[in-house]
Amino acid sequence: MEIIITKDYEELSETGAKIIIGTVKKNPYAVLGLATGTTPLGLYKRLIDDCKNNKTSYKHIRAVNLDEYKGLPKEHKQSYAYFMRKNLFDHIDIDLENTHIENGVAADEQSECERYDKILESMRQDIQLLGLGSNGHIAFNEPYTSFESTTHVVDLAESTIKDNARLFNDIEEVPKQAYTMGLKSIMGAKKILILASGANKAEAVYKLVRGEVTEAVPASILQNHADCTLIIDKEAAKLL
Ligand code: GLP
Q: Which atom of ligand 1 is nearest to the CA of 178?
A: 8
Q: Give the residues surrounding ligand 1 with Cβ less than 6 Å away.
A: 35-39, 66-67, 131-133, 139-140, 160, 164
Query: Cβ of 109: how many Cβ atoms within 10 Å?
Result: 13
The three-state secondary structure class of 191 is coil
Residues 54-69 pLDDT 10s: 999 999 999 999 999 9
The three-state secondary structure class of 147 is coil
Q: Which atom of ligand 1 is nearest to the CA of 39?
A: 14
Percent of the chain past pLDDT 90, that is, above it, reads 97
Please tell me the distance between residue 55's alpha carbon and the centre of ligand 1 in angstroms. 29
Q: Using CA atoms, how far apart are residues 196 and 200, in angstroms rounded to an integer?
A: 9
For residue 190, the model assigns a pLDDT of 98
Are 194 and 131 contacting, i.e. CB atoms less than 8 angstroms apart? yes
Closest Cα to atom 9 of ligand 1: 139
Closest Cα to atom 11 of ligand 1: 37
Q: Using CA atoms, how far apart are residues 102 and 90, in angstroms rounded to an integer?
A: 19
- Nearest one of 134, 113, 156 to 202, comparing CA atoms: 134
- DSSP class of 141: B
Does the global pTM surpass 0.75?
Answer: yes
* pLDDT of 108 strictly over 90: yes
Which amino acid is present at 7?
A: K
